[in-house]
Amino acid sequence: MRILWAPWRISYVTKANSLAKECIFCRALNGSDEEHFVVYRSSHSIAMLNLYPYNNAHTMVAPKRHVPSLELLRDEELLDLFKTVCLVIEALRREYKPHGFNIGINIGHVAGAGIESHIHVHVVPRWSGDTNFMPIVAGTKVLPEDLRSTWNRIRKALADLTHR
């Protein structure tokens, strides 16, 4: 058996049962940006890093209002949500220079929604070569940057964009 050390996961493992009952987006809205890796807040939306990212800088954008599906959002919330998605894309382009993006919304458990009760948009930057032999041969994904560094970089890029 190969052992992969991931000491940062202990906080998740020890809190998993209590955290599973709470919405991560609502908890982040009421908490500190640093603790919840929130990179941006707009009038109707919040953008935060995915703690278990598919790729570096994997960001999630959610409306502040707790709703399970897009059609339940008011026009101003929907517009703000997608303006925030566009702002995150622009910040990631400037800071990380990805070759492309996967942008996705999963509505409902069968569609792959890990958090069904609060709609959110995944913004995943992609690079040529970000899929290599490690996932195929070792069943392991390598993320070359820690979340705190990613959080600092994206927050700065977003602040630069919104204060031009």
Q: Tens digit of pLDDT for each residue in 73-125? A: 999 999 999 999 999 999 999 999 999 999 999 998 888 888 899 999 999 99
Domain count, the chain: 1
Spatial contact of 42 and 162, defined as CB atoms under 8 Å apart: no
Nearest of 62, 46, 76 to residue 117 by alpha carbon: 62
Task: Return all residues near 138 (Cβ < 8 A) that are at least 6 apart.
Answer: 2
pLDDT over threshold 90, residue 139: no
**Percent of the chain scoring above 90 in pLDDT:** 65
pLDDT over threshold 80, residue 132: no
Q: Is residue 34 part of a domain?
A: yes
Burial class, 136, CB count within 10 angstroms (exposed 0-12 / middle 13-18 / buried 19+): exposed
Ordered DSSP codes for the chain: ------GGGHHHHHHHHHHHTS-HHHHHHTS-HHHHTEEEE-SSEEEEE-SS-SSTT-EEEEESS--SSGGGS-HHHHHHHHHHHHHHHHHHHHHH--SEEEEE---SGGGT-SSTTS--EEEEEE-TTSS-HIIIIIS-----S-HHHHHHHHHHHHHHHHT-
Q: Is residue 17 part of a domain?
A: no
**Percent of the chain scoring above 70 in pLDDT:** 80
pTM: 0.83
Catalytic residue numbers, as ranges = 120
CATH number at residue 154: 3.30.428.10
Q: Is residue 52 part of a domain?
A: yes
Q: Is residue 15 part of a domain?
A: no
Q: How far is the C-alpha of 162 from the C-alpha of 159, rounded, in Å?
A: 5
- What mean pLDDT, rounded, does the chain reach? 88
pLDDT over threshold 70, residue 12: no
Give the residue numbers spanning the domain of 77.
24-162
Q: Please, which pLDDT band fits residue 149 given cuts at 50, 70 and 90?
A: very high
